[in-house]
Structure 1
Amino acid sequence: MDYYTLVLGSIFALSFLYTLAKLCSRGNKKLPPGPSPWPIIGNLHLLGAKPHISLANLAKLYGPIMSLKLGQITTVVISSSTIAKQVLKHQDQVFSGRFVPNALQAHNHYKFSVAWLPVCPQWRTLRRILNTKIFSSNRLDANQHLRSQKVKELLAYCEKCSQEGKALDVGQTAFKTNLNLLSNTLFSKDLADPFSDSKVELKDVIWGIMAEVGKANLVDFFPILEKIDLQGIRRRTTILSGKLFKLFDGLINERLEEKRMFHGERSDVLEAFLNISEENPEEIDHNHIKSMFLDLFGAGTDTTTSTLEWAMTEILKQPRIMKKAQAELAEIIGKGKPIEEIDVSRLSYLQCIIKETLRMHPPVPLLLPRRVEQDVELCDYIIPKGSQVLVNVWAIGRDSTFWDDPLVFKPERFWSSDLDMRGKDFELLSFGAGRRICPGLPLALRMVPVMLGSLLNSFNWKLEADIEPMELDMEEKFGITLAKAHPLRAIPSPL
Structure 2
Amino acid sequence: MDVIILLRELLLWLILYYGLRRLTVRLLPRKNLSPAPLPPGPRGFPVVGALPLLGRAPHVALARMAQRHGPVMHLKLGQHGVVVASSPDAARVFLKTLDAHFANRPIDAAPTRIAYGAQDLVFAEYGPRWKLLRRLCNLGMLGAKALEGWAGVRRAEVGHMLLAMCDFAQRGRPVEVAEMLSYAMANMIGQVILSRRVFEAVGAESSEFKDMMVELMTLAGLPNVGDYVPAVAWMDLQGIERRMKELHRRVDVVLSRVMREHEATAAERKGRPDLLDQVVASRDSLEGEKLSDIHFKALLLNLLSAGTDTSSSTIEWAIAEMLLNPAILKQAHAEMDRVIGRTRRLEESDIPNLPYLRAICKEAFRKHPSTPLNLPRICTHACEVDGYYIPKNTRLLVNIWAIGRDPNVWDDPLEFNPDRFMTPQGSKIDPRGNDFKLIPFGSGRRICAGARMGVVLVEYMLGSLIHAFDWSLPDGVKMNMDETFGLALQKTVPVSAIVSPRLAPAAFFQG
Counterpart selection for 1:247 from 233, 237, 254:
254
Q: Select 1:457's aligned residue among 467, 478, 492.
A: 467
> Pick from 136, 143, 146: which aligns with 1:139?
146
Equivalent pairs counted in the alignment come to 477
Partner residue of 2:443 out of 433, 458, 470: 433
Q: Matches of 1:147 and 1:43 in 2, distance apart?
A: 45
Indicate whether 1:119 and 2:126 are aligned. Answer: yes
Which residue of the partner structure matches residue 294 of structure 1? Answer: 301
Q: Is the 8 A contact 1:65 1:77 kept in 2?
A: yes
- Match 1:271 to one of 271, 277, 296: 277
Aligned match for 1:63, one of 58, 65, 70 = 70
SS at match of 2:142: coil
Indicate if the aligned counterparts of 1:339 and 1:453 stay in contact, CA closer than 8 A: yes
Name the aligned partner's letter for residue 267 of structure 1. Answer: P
Question: Does the CA contact (< 8 Å) of 2:431 and 2:440 recur in 1?
Answer: yes
Is residue 495 of structure 2 the alignment partner of residue 485 of structure 1?
no
1:397 aligns with one of 378, 397, 404: 404
Shift of 1:107: 6.3
Give the letter for the 1:242 counterpart.
R
Q: Which residue of 1 aligns with 2:15?
A: none
Task: Write out aligned runs for 1:81-100 (5 A).
Answer: 81-100=88-107
> Would the alpha carbon gap of residues 18 and 109 (structure 1) be closer, same or farther in structure 2, given more than 3 Å must change?
closer
Q: Is the 8 A contact 1:167 1:491 kept in 2?
A: yes
Distance 2:408 2:167 in 1: 47
Task: Give 1:22 deviation, angstroms.
Answer: 8.8
What is the rounded CA distance, in whole Å, between the counterparts of 1:336 and 1:224 in structure 2?
A: 65
Partner Cα distance (1:263, 1:411) in 2? 44
Show the counterpart of 1:356: 363
Is the CA contact 2:373–2:399 (under 8 Å) kept in the aligned structure 1?
A: yes
1:334-361 deviation per Cα after TM superposition (whole angstroms, max 9, x unaligned): 1252111121111100000000001000
Deviation at 1:249, TM superposition (A): 2.5
Check whether the contact 1:72–1:221 (CA below 8 A) recurs between aligned residues.
Answer: yes
Q: Deviations over 1:345-385 (max 9, x none)?
A: 11100000000001000000011011112322111111122
Tell me by how many angstroms 1:217 deviates.
Answer: 0.7
SS in 2 for 1:390: strand
Q: Distance in 1 between matches of 2:296 and 2:279?
A: 7
The equivalent position to 2:54 in structure 1, one of 29, 47, 50, is: 47
What is the SS of the residue equivalent to 2:341?
coil
* Residues 162 and 99 of structure 1, relative CA distance in 2, 3 Å threshold: same
1:92: Cα distance to partner? Answer: 0.3
SS at match of 2:393: coil
Query: Structure 1 residues 352 and 391, CA, compared in 2 at 3 Å: closer, same or farther?
Result: same
Contact residue 137 and residue 275 of structure 2 kept, 8 A = no
Change (3 A) 1:263 1:87: closer
Q: Percent identity, please.
A: 36
- Cα separation, partners in 2 of 1:476 and 1:199, compared to 1, 3 Å: closer
The question of whether the paired residues in 2 share the 8 Å contact of 1:337 and 1:457 is answered with no
Aligned pairs (5 A) from 1:220-235: 220-235=227-242
Q: Are residues 200 and 17 of structure 1, via their aligned partners in 2, closer, same or farther at CA, if it must alter by over 3 Å?
A: closer
The one-letter code matched in structure 2 to 1:60 is Q
Q: Which runs of 5 or more structure 1 residues have no equivalent in the other structure?
A: 1-14
Residue of 201, 205, 218 corresponding to 2:225: 218
Change in CA separation of 1:206 and 1:17 when aligned onto 2, cut-off 3 Å? closer
Paired residue for 1:202, among 188, 209, 221? Answer: 209
Distance in 2 (CA, whole Å) between partners of 1:363 and 1:249 is 28
**Cα–Cα, structure 1 residues 318 and 107, in superposed 2: closer, same or farther, change >3 Å?**
closer
> How far 1:57 sits from its partner (Å)?
0.7
| Structure 2 counterpart of 1:255, one-letter code | H
Q: Does 1:179 align with 2:179?
A: no
For 2:224, give the aligned amino acid. Answer: N
Distance 1:391 1:346 in 2: 33
TM normalised by structure 1 equals 0.91
Q: 1:18 to 1:221 in 2, by over 3 A?
A: closer
Superimposed CA distance per residue, residues 162-207 of structure 1 (whole angstroms, 9 cap, x where no aligned partner): 1112111111111111111111111122222443333432222222
Partner of 1:5: none
- Contact 1:306/1:483 (CA < 8 Å) preserved in 2? yes
Q: Distance in 2 between matches of 1:16 and 1:41?
A: 17
Check 1:493–1:264 CA distance in 2 against 1; reply closer, same or farther (3 A cut): same
Give the aligned partner of residue 434 of structure 2. Answer: 424
State whether structure 2 residue 481 is matched by structure 1 residue 474.
yes
CA shift, 1:263, in A, is 8.0
1:408 CA drift (Å)? 0.7
Could you tell me whether the CA contact under 8 Å between 2:114 and 2:244 is conserved in 1?
no
| 1:73 corresponds to | 80
Deviation string 1:210-237 (CA, Å, 9 cap, x unpaired) is 2211122111111223344333323322
Following the alignment from structure 1 to structure 2, what is the Cα–Cα distance between the partners of residues 264 and 118?
A: 33
For residue 316 of structure 1, give the secondary structure of its aligned residue in structure 2.
helix
The answer on whether the counterparts of 1:265 and 1:271 sit within 8 Å (CA) in structure 2 is no
